[in-house]
């Protein structure tokens, strides 16, 4: 399928921001990629055009029933000056899995990848040059039928926008202070937790705001049935180190199968470390933290990379993990991962793709 290219005129291209003072997701690049779906023609009309507002009827299905999915990945300026992506195909594979769960049409991954590569080539100047910053890439798919009756849409819009970003969390000397959420849940097994659907994030907002109001960085999600098993932390998967053994909640249908999570598991295995995917009971975990058996905790995700957790607040009590210090396991994984992403270390896994 032929890609239509409608680039900005020089006067439409915007001035670049100060890349050393970026916040997360507030600015967008000059261009966007779009393609449209109709039942008669399937996906059609892949186009790169200047970044612009969408024009939608107020009746548009996505605005009422949240039939929407998205992805998040990053492009990096590598030390050799090339622009690199980290496991981009895996994001589009996950997006197609999300599409299936949300009764939306799957798309051709090659067309999406090709659109992304062309978009990045065109907006290369927006990839921040320094380590620690990156270009966050946001593919999304929305239901565009303008009908208020509840049904799956017949028409859809797929688009990709991009935003230069700095760090997601400001992490100082200590790890994040996290509130273990017992009242609200993010997702339940059988629901849409394993899909990257906007509706999951809407469900998480109140708990996260309340945790922040109480002075915590974010909420830790427990399972929706028993409020007993650890699932995720904020918008990240979660890991715990017991000395050199590392554990993470197993994928059970209600948590997002993170690409960073999978990469950490593969990295640890390649180093000969023990890593297990298992059910993690919050009461056992808290006892292990208090007794010093659990020595580290960290979250993982594209936006937040590796974010050390300094303490868990559970049932009114703070449980500091190893004195809240940032531990050696999370530091080693952070370095290994970012060295691969920024092209400072050899990528033995074939995860990176340069443009």
Binders of ligand COI: how many residues, by CB under 6 A? 6
Q: How far is the CB of 303 from ligand COI (least distance, A)?
A: 3
Instruction: Return d(Cα 28, Cα 330) in angstroms, integer.
Output: 31
CA 197 to chain CA mean position, Å: 11
- Closest approach of ligand PLP to the CB of residue 58, in Å: 28
What DSSP string runs through 273-324?
--EEEE--BHHHHHHHHHTT-S-EEEEEETTTEEEEEEEEEETTEEEESGGG
d(CA 185, CA 188): 8
**Does the protein bind ligand COI through residue 235 (CB under 6 A)?**
yes
Report in angstroms the alpha-carbon separations of 340 from 83, 132, 281, 349. Answer: 13, 13, 33, 10
User: In the range 291-310, which residues lie near ligand PLP by CB under 6 A?
Assistant: 300-302
The C-alpha angle with vertex 66 and arms to 62 and 67, in degrees rounded to 5, equals 70
**Per-residue exposure over 51-79, b if at least 16 CB sit within 10 Å of its own CB, e if not:** beeeeeeeebbbbebbbbbbbbbbbbbbe
Interacting positions 204-233 with ligand PLP (CB under 6 A) = 232
Which parts of 112-141 interact with ligand PLP (CB under 6 A)? none
CB of 45 to ligand COI, least distance (A): 27
Phi and psi of 204, rounded to 5°? Answer: -90, -15
Q: How far is the CB of 190 from ligand COI (least distance, A)?
A: 22
Under the binding rule (CB under 6 A), the answer on residue 261 touching ligand PLP is: yes
Asked if 72 is part of the footprint of ligand COI (rule: CB under 6 A), the reply reads yes
Q: For residues 256 and 237, what is the distance between their CA atoms, to the nearest angstrom?
A: 7
| 237 is a contact residue toward ligand PLP (CB under 6 A) | yes
Q: Which stretch binds ligand COI (CB under 6 A): 177-185, 243-251, 299-307, 346-354?
A: 299-307
Site map (CB under 6 A) of ligand COI, residues 258-297, x = contact: ----------------------------------------
**Which member of 249, 301, 310, 327 binds ligand COI (CB under 6 A)?**
301
Selected binder of ligand COI within 233, 255, 303, 321 (CB under 6 A): 303
Looking at residue 131, the DSSP 8-state letter turns out to be T
Q: Choose which of 258, 308, 310, 327 interacts with ligand PLP (CB under 6 A).
A: 258
Rg of the chain over CA atoms, in angstroms?
21
256 binds, among ligand PLP, ligand COI, none (CB under 5 to 8 A by kind): ligand PLP
25 binds ligand PLP (CB under 6 A): no
User: Are 158 and 46 in contact, with CB atoms under 8 Å apart?
Assistant: no
SS3 261: helix
- Closest separation in Å from C-beta 201 to ligand COI: 6
Task: Using the rule CB under 6 A, give the single segment among 14-22, 39-47, 125-133, 255-263 that binds ligand PLP.
Answer: 255-263
Of 10-18, 181-189, 301-309, 339-347, the window that binds ligand COI (rule: CB under 6 A) is 301-309
Beta bridge partners of 184: none
Tracing tokens 């899995």 back to the chain, one arrives at 97
What DSSP string runs through 210-223? HHHHTT-SEEEEEP
Positions in the binding site for ligand COI (CB under 6 A):
72, 201, 235, 301-303
Residues at the interface with ligand PLP (CB under 6 A)? 72, 232, 235-237, 256, 258-261, 300-302
């Amino acid at each position: 399928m032929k890609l239509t290219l409608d680039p900005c005129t020089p006067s439409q291209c915007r001035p670049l921001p100060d890349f050393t003072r970026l916040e997360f997701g507030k600015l967008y690049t000059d261009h966007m990629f779009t393609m449209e779906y109709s039942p008669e023609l399937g996906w059609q009309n892949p186009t790169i055009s200047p970044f612009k507002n969408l024009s939608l009827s107020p009746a548009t299905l996505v605005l009422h029933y949240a039939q929407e999915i998205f992805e998040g990945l990053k492009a990096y300026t590598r030390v050799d000056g090339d622009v690199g992506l980290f496991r981009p195909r895996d994001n589009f594979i996950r997006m197609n899995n999300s599409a299936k769960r949300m009764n939306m049409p799957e798309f051709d991954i090659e067309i999406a990848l090709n659109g992304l590569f062309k978009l990045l080539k065109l907006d290369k100047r927006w990839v921040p040059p320094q380590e620690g910053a990156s270009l966050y890439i946001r593919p999304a798919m929305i239901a565009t039928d303008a009908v208020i009756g509840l049904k799956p849409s017949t028409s859809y819009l797929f688009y990709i926008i991009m935003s230069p970003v700095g760090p997601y969390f400001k992490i100082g000397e200590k790890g994040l202070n996290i509130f273990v959420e017992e009242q609200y849940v993010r997702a339940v097994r059988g629901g849409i937790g394993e899909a990257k659907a906007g509706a999951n994030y809407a469900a998480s907002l109140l708990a996260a705001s309340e945790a922040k109001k109480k002075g915590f960085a974010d909420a830790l999600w427990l399972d929706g049935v028993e409020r007993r098993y650890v699932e995720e932390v904020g918008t990240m998967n979660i890991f715990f180190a017991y000395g050199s053994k590392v554990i993470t909640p197993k994928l059970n249908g209600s948590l997002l199968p993170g690409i960073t999570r999978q990469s950490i598991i593969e990295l640890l295995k390649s180093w000969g470390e023990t890593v297990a995917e298992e059910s993690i009971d919050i009461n056992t975990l808290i006892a292990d933290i208090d007794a010093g058996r659990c020595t580290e905790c960290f979250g993982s995700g594209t936006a937040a990379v590796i974010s050390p957790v300094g303490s868990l607040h559970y049932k009114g009590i703070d449980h500091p993990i190893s004195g809240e210090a940032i531990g050696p396991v999370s530091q080693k994984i952070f370095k290994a991962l970012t060295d691969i992403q920024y092209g400072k270390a050899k990528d033995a896994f074939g995860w990176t793709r340069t443009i």
